[in-house]
Structure 1
Amino acid sequence: MSAGLHVTDLSAGYRDRAVIEHLSLPPIARGETVALLGPNAAGKSTLLRALAGLTPARGSIRLDGDELNGLPLADRAKAVTYMPQTLPQGIALTVLETVIGALEASPTGQGHGGDAAERAMAVLGRVGIEALAMRGIDQLSGGQRQLAALAQALVRAPRLLLLDEPTSALDLNHQVRVLDLVRSLAREQDMIAVLVLHDLQAAARIADRVVVLSEGQVAAAGPPEEAITPAVLADVWRVRARIDHCERGSLRMVIDDIL
């Protein structure tokens, strides 16, 4: 099987409730950024957690030919990094310490000794929060903590990066910075990035491909201009919308009414 991410016949849920059933995704190539879109309860976070190995799942998840489903978490974490929506509270460490800890816990960080702080600071710089390095995590705002968590995820240099609403607590400037950074790093490091997003216009701007989920199934998939259409918006989100492109070629949508 070719390199990249191949998800086939995947089913996952919680207790006795199935959320996604027999779901398959188009193959995702190394270096691509993919946005998972859909209304609330569509199965986006469940799919992401299943890919991370945090929710029991049946089916096949192959990364560069290696089957991930059924692997112990410690083995899966060598290739996959997951950043959840909700971050843990009460951590009595500085931002720099948490990023160094994430690096030293990863295969790419083992044996680097004194280089760990330098590498951690470089990632904090790329995220734009090097000034927060010596601040305690428990002293940060929600948005700052989200950026610190992103730095912890990026420093591990995973093959598959899973981000669940990574911009939910960020202001507009930092939303643009984070999404552009994730796309750039995916291309630079030949990494696959899969992001759950609610902002369709932001997703269209940065994603190579979009997957729209509805009731645990793939409702649309492909380049943004093919997957985000008035018909999909009407069917999945129940809104009447117009979509065109601005003078710079970016997708632009106007919501006229609910259906």
Structure 2
Amino acid sequence: MTATADGGEPAVSKGTVHLVHLYPREMSIYGDLGNTRALASRLRWHGYSAVVHDHHPGAPWPEQVHLVLGGGGQDSGQARVQEDLAVQADRLRGLAADGVPMLMICGMYQLFGQAFVTAEGRRLPGLGILDVTTTGNPTRMIGPVVLDTPIGQVVGYENHSGATVLGEGQEPFGRVRHGQGNNGTDGTEGARTGNVIGSYLHGPILPANPALSDHLLELAATRATGSWEPAEVDDSIAEQAHQRQVRRLLRG
């Protein structure tokens, strides 16, 4: 595990928020490390200090955790983290049950589910934090996505061959306006239980979705300091990128 304080800390900090990035070497092949960097930067812009813990297989767990992130990876990357994930399973389940916000993308989304069933029929168990099951699919789902979510409209880019099905009563992260989503058929994308969000959206997802970023940060900062005191942040560039994708995909 490595821990770093985000550069350019505010002169007077409103408090320190600890972010944990799970397996950044093995599970961050589609730019998902950008989510961690975006959150650390936004914390600084809002007047907080950020400490980022990179959790690698076999490393000790940090003493303080206010938000957990995970990204996408190839099947080989998932295999390399399976042993450590089993060691951390009860801790992660406990943190999720206690309300710690988490954002799991693509491969880590699948590993936070009930199971991944390979194309050959082999069932690989997941953490069960999200009630989803993923099956290997010969058809790859690739392209830009627009979602409607309770947090607002979200844009991103999907690239996955796993077809994910929600368990009965499992809330999706969002409803697909454009794209394939979980499986290309039921109109759902991702899953959400408590403060845990799973999604297939890369991009990375957070820089172009500042409302989603600040939703996660509000949960994390409140957990760390007892309150959330956001500052005025200029999100004009992020909003332009967001709206251009929406206009291109939904309005022609």
Report the TM-score when normalising by structure 2. 0.31
Q: Look at both structures and tell me which one has the larger radius of gyration over its CA atoms.
A: 1
- RCO higher in structure (CA 8 A, sep ≥6): 1
